[in-house]
Structure formats: structure tokens, C-alpha cells
Amino acid sequence: MEQIRQAMHKNLIIAMEAFQIMAEKERQAVEKIIREILAVKYHMENLAADRGYSQACRDAIPTCRGECCKWHFPENLTYVDFFIAIYNMPVEKQNELSELILDNRRHQCPVLMKNGCFFSFEQRPVACTNAYPCFNDRSYWEEKEAQSVLIRKAFRAVSEIVPFGSAE
């Protein structure tokens, strides 16, 4: 658990530093890809909403308190995951997130607070958005796997554009 926390903090810092030093040209190129990633994320969210999964999760969170985040996923959020998740986040909030990850030793995912994720339900990292371990059925899962191919390709493109310097 400690290893995961450290790795996540390192990845967040890499993402934050890249965010600070990125040139305008890179920013424009990466914004286009992030829009594509978000389109896939929203497609899956709509599917989950249509099937009632998202509402079921919202209703369950006061009771389950994000049990899935404690044990099932993710083992580690990569610096690309963090970069995309913080892309529209003010710097003060990014710093708050960094402190939370350093201090929070309660759960496998240090982003999980007492009452749920630090990110809003809508702003959760892509890796966390599409899995509904308590509810999803095979056809939803298959669609998610198909969309993951596009997501992986887009993540690779982000890695190639953004100067994730300290990642090497």
C-alpha cells in the first residue's frame, strides 16, 4: 500500500511539473487529444447512466464509501492519468491533491477520502470512471474493453507530446 501511495505521489508530481513547463504548441496539441479521451469517457458514462449504474453508485456511496476504490482499482494511477485528471484543475487544488496523497494512509487509493473520491464523480480519472464492479454486465464490459483500445492509443499520444521530463 505504501508503495502504491509513493508511486502515485511521484506520478502526480511528474504530471504537475509537465503541466507547468509545457509550451503553448504542446498545450494545443494535447488539448485536442484530451478532448478525444473525454469523448470516450463520456460515451461510457452515458452508457453507465442509461443502465442505471452511475445512479446506483451515487446512491450506494454513503454506505459502501467507495469500497471498489479501496480494493479493486487502480493499483497505480500513471502520470498520464494524473496529467489528464488535473488538466483543468487550479494549481492550489493540485497542491491539495498532492498533500492528500502524501498524508492519506487509510485506503489502497490515497485519493479516497472519508466520503468518497477527492475528484468529483464526473472528474474522476479515466481509469476509474468506467468500471462499476458491483453492477456492470458482459456487454458493458465488452464495450469498455473496446473503448480502452482507443484510450490506450490516446494516452500514448499524450506521452509523446507532453514533456514528462522526470519520468525517464
| In the complex, minimum distance from the CB of residue 137 to ligand SF4, in angstroms, rounded to a whole number | 13
| In the complex, minimum distance from the CB of residue 46 to ligand SF4, in angstroms, rounded to a whole number | 17
Out of 34, 60, 150, 157, the only residue in the binding site for ligand SF4 (CB under 6 A) is 60
Locate the DSSP E strands across the chain.
112-113, 116-117
**Does 134 participate in binding ligand SF4 (rule CB under 6 A)?**
yes
- Quick one: which of 159, 163, 75, 60 has its CA closest to 125? 75
The span of 19-27, 38-46, 56-64, 93-101 binding ligand SF4 (CB under 6 A) equals: 56-64
3-state secondary structure of 132: coil
Q: How many helices (H) and strands (E) does the chain have?
A: 8, 2
Q: CA 16: distance to chain centroid?
A: 14
Site for ligand SF4 in 17-46 (CB under 6 A): none
Please report, as a single letter, which amino acid is at residue 4: I
Q: How many other β-carbons are positioned within 10 Å of the β-carbon of residue 51? A: 16
Pattern 83-122, ligand SF4, x by CB under 6 A: --------------------------x-xx----x-x---
- Quick one: which of 59, 47, 67, 61 has its CA closest to 143? 47
Out of 66, 94, 101, 144, the only residue in the binding site for ligand SF4 (CB under 6 A) is 66
Residues engaged in binding ligand SF4 (CB under 6 A): 57, 60-61, 64, 66-69, 73-74, 109, 111-112, 117, 119, 124-125, 128, 132-134
